[in-house]
Structure 1
Amino acid sequence: MPKLTIDGIELEVAPGTSVLQACEQLGIEVPRFCYHEKLSVPANCRMCLVEMEKAPKPIASCAMPCGEGMVIKTDTDTVHKARKGVMEFLLINHPLDCPICDQGGECDLQDQAVGYGFDRGRYGEEKRAVKDKNLGPLIKTIMTRCIHCTRCIRFSDEIAGVSVMGATGRGEHMEIGTYVEAAVSSELSGNLVDVCPVGALTSKPYAFTARPWELRKTESVDVLDAVGSNIRIDTRGGEVLRILPRLNEAVNEEWISDKTRYAHDGLKRQRLDRPYIRENGKLRAASWEEALALTAAKLKGAAPEKIAAIAGDLADAESLLALKDLLGGMGVASLESRQDGSAIDAASRAGYIFNSTIAGIEQADQILLIGTNPRWEGALVNARIRKRYLQGGLTVTVLGPRVDLTFPIEHLGNDATLLNAIADGSHPYAETLKAAKKPLLILGSGALARPDGAAVWAAARAVAEACGLVREDWNGFNVLHRAASRVGALDLGFLPAKGGRDLAGILDGARKGEVEVVYLLGADEIDAQNFGRAFVIYQGHHGDRGAHRADVILPGAAYTEKNATYVNTEGRAQHTRQATFPVGEAREDWKIIRALSGALGKPLPYDTLQQLRKRLADANPVFAQVDRVTPAAWGAFGTAGAVAAAPFTLPVENFYMTDAISRASATMAECTEAFVSPAVAERTGTHG
């Protein structure tokens, strides 16, 4: 391990560490524009110049590996003069339009110009102007501001895996853009705005909306998929103006998907802001007292076996537990949280979580994807697989539909019966899995929603056990969920009790009149026609499918409007935090259920969030381990049986619209029109 001296301080660093990284270890700030710790090193902005003893000129610290005996100086007159010269050249063609730039206040160029800029310019020629590029509905371009750091190109190539960005021309004629004018069709494209150190790439939906110092910042968690990306919610007044990623190396690193980032405008559209009651076929506004009284009367008037509850994909753990306690206390056994009809149950926690963890993907050398498209079902999981692929030594094999995952795959086919062949060793791929040092299997939640889902689940377990995926030091069996509420609901046992009906049984009973009252806790992914003549109580925050069928609507709070607990696909409990207040008369979901319990004359034994979270921890210790993954004990799950030869189908047809919030988003509608509709037309041959 090389030892070097930086500004008179001697330190020892790992081999391959750059001088810039060594400076950061000492807390010495080195300015940079092109360098980004998650991207390759191009060393083309030269802002990170430092002085090295015996070197004839300043060196680019980002590209210089540390060597034994190096003597580095970062705070000399030579260094300051060199950096000021670089800054002067960078500003020669820059439009200097900070007052109208959306990057103002959080711009790297602006920040460094304070330290290394000058109060006047010596350049008297005309500035260069560059035509703006159309990168789609999400990214606004003002390319005259571009300083050619190439971060956007490297992000597109290396992280997103969509090689659409590049540089054309040379010298003064060099321009950054797409080779053929086209929108950046990546589900991670919004991160280009974050990596751009100037105002060349900014957020199109956010343009001219607010300044960073006007915003109140709240750290929270995304719930539009099951990854649990860490986010920061920026609000002004009662409105969410933007959502940005928050660093969490174990989950999303510093990236988020475009749906996470841009669907927030759906939070102010089609909202339920007051209780409603259906009379004579039409909904009318009502008071809370009236709505709760009617709800309580219907629940009291039905036998427990004629009441059912279905929880939606965005339900938080607190409301799930409160509803389970309330209805369970009434003797109701028909509780369901698997809106997609999945065969998964809570028999073994290791059978329904991402056991290797998302970060653990980086250790795998063989990955088998079964009936899943991680690029749309968990964009950050797919990005992590690509990161591991770029490190070399990884083979990704797909059993299911062939899709573009941004990295090469080996396609086994789309015959589900191959699972049994791999498990019994008759398929040659079984030997490949057995020979891998750390094999990993990712089972898509869509594969478990088939009629033979329980058999698929059991077959996947058999593959894991037969091919050495589960060992003392490694568990490579993973389920990739799509619903943010699913793992938390399974942890709480929000499932049919003995004698209770599952989803198919509830819908069948409602059609036949055997189920008289259905309580929907944000359940919007079910065809409302299936409820027959049952009395439907809908508790949620958007006027989506569930609300259209409801007889009583109890307006709840969205994830940005409440302090709530969600468990992501790897079993990590995380908290969302309230960034704004619920709209109108809407209330936090657990408080609504607590008020309903009072109206029923059976008040729940908790009045505060702290008391409810203590009850959560008592129900399952997982909820007390916030932001930690507790390894699950391996056990039996699934139902052994014949896996049908029917091909796997992918559950997500439109990445941009998968829930009530994103379906209400105008930005997601634009993305659907720009990216999904042309692809559908191409696939079905329905152009024009």
Structure 2
Amino acid sequence: MVNVFIDGILLHVKRGSTVMQACTQASKEIPHFCYHDRLSIAGNCRMCLVEVEGMPKPVASCHWPVAEGMRVRTDSPTTINARKGTMELLLINHPLDCPICDQGGECALQDQSVAYGGDRSAYHEFKRAVDDKDIGSKIKTVMTRCIHCTRCIRFATEIAGVEEMGATGRGENMQVGTYVEQAIQSELSGNMIDLCPVGALTSKPYAYTARPWELVRTTSIDILDAIGTPITVDNRHGQVLRTQPQENNAINEEWMTDAARFSYDALHTNRLTSPMVKRGGELQTCSWPEAFTYAKTGMEKPTAAILGSMASAEDAFAFKSFMENNLKGAAFDCRPAGSQLDNFYTFNTPLIEFENVDAVLLVGCNPRLEAPLLNVRLRRAALKRRIPVAVLGAEVDLTYPYQHLGTTPDELESLGRSKFADTLKSAQKPAIIIAASVLTRPDGAAILNAVEKFAKKSGVVKDGWNGLNILPSTCGRITALDMAARGGDGKSSTNAILKAFNSGKTQTLIVYGEDTITAEDVDATRNTQHATLIYIGTHLTPLAQLADVILPAAAWSEKPGLYANVEGRVQQTHAAVPPPLNAKEDWKIFRALSEEMGSALPFNTLAQLRDAIARQHPAYNPQSWNRITPRMGVITKTDAAVSARPFAPVVTHYYLRNEYLRQSPTMHKCQTEAGSADLGNTPASPPPATRNKPATRKAA
């Protein structure tokens, strides 16, 4: 510790701290543009100048280290004049775009020019103009506004691991952009919008839609992957216009994926707004009572159900309760087709603990596309702490170096004799991450057993530490498994349910928000006089067009809901806007259906429903929210052998990987820009051409 005086106040500051950090500790505000505590120090803007006793001129506090007995003045005339001069230089070439700039009202340059700048300028020359850069469908550029803070460059290079942003030229001729004019190929590029202190980089989909003071802000979480990133949802007049990250060091730090940031236009596209039934081969709107009557008629025949990946705890619990109370013995499942997930489906290692993990093995896993914010932590560990990382699976670009151990699961047999096994044994906190998609393989259970055996032998699982982790696809999958939303005759796998329906053994199928099965998975040639397809969801998908009854549900931004993330941490979404027109919250649909079936579920309000959930699942008790609750899953044993079939790429179309994203025009543009870099075996759906359609539609 060293003793430092900040404006005459004595502070004890950690040795190696910067003057800015010492000033922050003293609650002194230091203006700055280029400095960011999660990026390297550049010292470009010079706005953070302070006077240090004994120094011939003001110093940049963002990178100047403290020293014993140092005396710093943050409000002296010298400091004030230095800041005014710096602000004048920054404004020399900055255009007067504030009335039309999307950053207006939340712009650091606006705020600091008022607080620290002068009221006149000595500059009378022409301003410089810079051509705007086309860097894709996500980020709008007005490069004349750029003040060369280089935050975007440092983020792309240091955090995202995509070295596509840079600076060319020097002095007045310096320009920031991509070296080659092309769309930035990063799943995290939208964070540059938040980092830009001026209006040089703004959201292209949000451009010219609203001012910050017009927006109503609601806290929520991102449910498109398993991390559960805290976010805010901004709306005006009942329409979602923007989503942004909240800071939470334990989960997302302060970043957000591009899929979560830019896909909100799916909330306004191709929505189901009223119940529909099929008459004469065409879907037509009807009242809720009429739709329930049709649904009841179908459910009087042998029925099964499939639950999708975005249901909240309330929805999954109501779904399960409805199936068990009203359709006793009917098969239902919440797992994707082929999945053998049982009772081990979360991380045993908290996300923040990856700051201390010292060796990582990835099995059939691509965290860059499955959980980009987890990949940020792994990248930092691999580059800054130089921990060894190995991959058993498809060879992909993770943005950091790793050892590739092979592409087939039978390599697990020899892995115990490899050098990397010795690396794991010598590590204090080793970790293994297995993609949940591995368990959709026929030999998935065998692979999991082999990995568990290897983990115990190599010290990944030991007293006081459990580094064996499964990475599911979404928070909704974890939450549905928490609710035990599967049951029936003991053979209620999604594949078995589809097979029974297509063969005629099951005559009614309820598809609730499922996005991994397609219209091709359901036999469209079945005898519609004897088979009924009931679809409960938010969008008119190709599968929904095959349905005989459609019940429109609320999207994630239109209802309160509890979700567990990959750590087992329960968080909640809040309703930012109401559901469109006649759509209802999901649990209310099941409550009404149960009454139609003659055995009403025992809850009428959200509070009653949450009480019922908390009684059966203590992790969902309000006192346990936002806390990590280990699931302590046990791996089911099997004598089956692993195969030599290679691991397939986990994510083949990052921007179109579920039905919600496939309804977003922006996501389709992003996937087109990604091109062959992100193409796989699954053909992408055509982009939705229109917004909400008229009521009557033809069946597919």
Please indicate, yes or no, whether the TM-score normalized by the shorter chain is above 0.5. yes
Matching of residue 538 in structure 1 with residue 535 in structure 2: yes
2:250 is the counterpart of 1:250: yes
Question: Separation in 1 of the partners of 2:201 and 2:341?
Answer: 43
Alignment equivalent of 1:589, drawn from 561, 586, 589: 586
CA change 1:637–1:73 in 2 (3 A) is farther
Tell me the CA shift for residue 678 of structure 1. Answer: 6.2
Answer whether contact 2:653 2:679 (CA < 8 A) is retained. no
Question: 1:458, 1:638 within 8 Å by CA — same for their partners in 2?
Answer: yes
How far 1:323 moved relative to its partner?
A: 1.1
Match of residue 319 from structure 2: 323
Query: Residue type of the partner of 1:670?
Result: K
Instruction: State the shift of 1:401 in Å.
Output: 0.7
In the alignment, which residue of structure 1 is the partner of 2:515?
Answer: 524
CA contact (8 A) 1:215 1:235 kept: yes
Q: Distance in 2 between matches of 1:647 and 1:345?
A: 23
Query: Structure 1, unaligned stretches of length 5 or more?
Result: none
SS in structure 2 at match of 1:485 = helix
Quick one: which of 590, 609, 614 aligns to 1:617?
A: 614
569, 572, 579: which one pairs with 2:569?
572
C-alpha change, 1:529 and 1:136, in structure 2 (3 Å) is closer
Tell me how far apart the structure 2 counterparts of residues 393 and 160 of structure 1 sit (CA, whole Å). 17
User: Which AA in structure 2 matches 1:118?
Assistant: G
* 1:677 CA drift (Å): 4.5
Partner residue of 2:693?
none
Q: Which moved more, 1:257-266 or 1:487-496?
A: 487-496
Moved more, 19-28 or 46-55: 19-28
> Aligned residue for 2:38?
38
Residues in 1 aligned to 2:68 and 2:666: alpha-carbon distance in whole angstroms: 53
Name the SS for the 2:655 alignment partner.
coil
Deviation larger for 308-317 or 539-548? 539-548
Measured in 1, the distance between the counterparts of 2:325 and 2:197 equals: 56
Superposition pairs of residues 35-74 of structure 1, within 5 angstroms: 35-74=35-74
1:125-136 → structure 2 map (5 Å cutoff): 125-136=125-136
User: Aligned partner of 2:438: which letter?
Assistant: A
CA contact (8 A) 2:342 2:635 kept: no
Matched, 1:508 2:508: no
**1:132-184 C-alpha deviation (Å, 9 max, x unpaired):** 11111111111111111010110000000000111111111111111222221
AA aligned opposite 1:644: S
- Bigger mean CA deviation after superposition, 614-623 or 471-480: 471-480
Q: What residue in structure 1 maps to residue 425 of structure 2?
A: 434
Which residue of 461, 483, 499 maps to 1:492?
483
Identical aligned pairs, as a percentage? 48
Q: Secondary structure at the match of 1:411?
A: strand
The answer as to whether partners of 2:152 and 2:195 remain within 8 angstroms in 1 is yes
Structure-2 separation of matches of 1:497 and 1:48? 65
Q: 1:600-611 maps to which residues of 2 (within 5 A)?
A: 600-611=597-608
**2:278 corresponds to 1:278:** yes
Q: How does 1:132-171 map to 2 (within 5 A)?
A: 132-171=132-171
How far is the alpha carbon of 1:381 from its aligned partner? 1.1
Letter in 2 for 1:541: T
Instruction: Tell me if the contact between 1:333 and 1:499 (Cα under 8 Å) persists in the aligned partners.
Output: no
What CA deviation, in whole Å up to 9, does each residue of 1:522-552 have, x standing for no partner? 0132133444444121111111143122111
1:312 to 299, 305, 308: 308
Distance 1:605 1:43 in 2: 62
Aligned partners of 1:522 and 1:546 also within 8 Å: no
Provide closer, same or farther for how the CA distance between residues 499 and 168 of structure 1 changes in structure 2, counting only shifts above 3 A. closer
Amino acid aligned to 2:376: A
SS at match of 2:290: helix
CA displacement, residues 241-277 of structure 1 (integer Å, 9 cap, x when unaligned):
0111111111111111111000001110110000001
Q: CA deviation at 1:681?
A: 10
Paired residues of 1:264 and 1:661 also in contact (CA < 8 A): no
Q: Cα 1:141–1:571, aligned 2, differ >3 Å: closer, same or farther? A: same
Contact preservation (8 Å) 1:455, 1:643: yes
How many angstroms apart in 2 are the aligned matches of 1:657 and 1:112? 41
Aligned partner of residue 417 in structure 1, secondary structure: helix
How far apart, in 1, do the equivalents of 2:337 and 2:17 lie? 48
- 2:674 maps to 675
Matches within 5 A, 1:385-400: 385-400=378-393
The aligned counterpart of 2:201 is 201
State TM-score, norm by structure 2.
Answer: 0.93
* 2:49 maps to amino acid: L
Match of 2:409 in 1: 416
Q: Is the 8 A contact 2:136 2:673 kept in 1?
A: yes
Matches within 5 A, 1:103-502: 103-299=103-299, 301-302=300-301, 306-330=302-326, 331-346=328-343, 351-422=344-415, 425-502=416-493
Counterpart position of 1:561: 558
The Cα shift of 1:572 comes to 1.3
Deviates more, 1:656-665 or 1:587-596: 656-665
The residue type paired with residue 348 of structure 2 is N
Unaligned runs of at least 5 residues, structure 2: 684-700
**1:637 counterpart letter in structure 2:** T
Match of 2:690 in 1: none
| Partner residue, 2:640 | 641
Q: Secondary structure at the match of 1:441?
A: strand
| Structure 1 pair 667–634 and aligned structure 2 pair: CA distance change class (3 A) | closer
Q: What SS is found at the alignment partner of 2:666?
A: helix
* RMSD of Structure 2 on Structure 1 (CA): 1.8
Q: Give the match for residue 689 of structure 2.
A: none
Deviation at 1:333, TM superposition (A): 4.5
Alpha carbons 2:652, 2:679 under 8 Å: kept: no
Q: CA deviation at 1:390?
A: 2.7
Secondary structure in 1 matching 2:501: helix
Give the structure 2 partner of residue 550 of structure 1.
Answer: 547
Is 1:524–1:544's contact at 8 Å kept on the other side of the alignment? no
CA distance in structure 2 between the aligned counterparts of 1:363 and 1:99, rounded to whole angstroms? 47
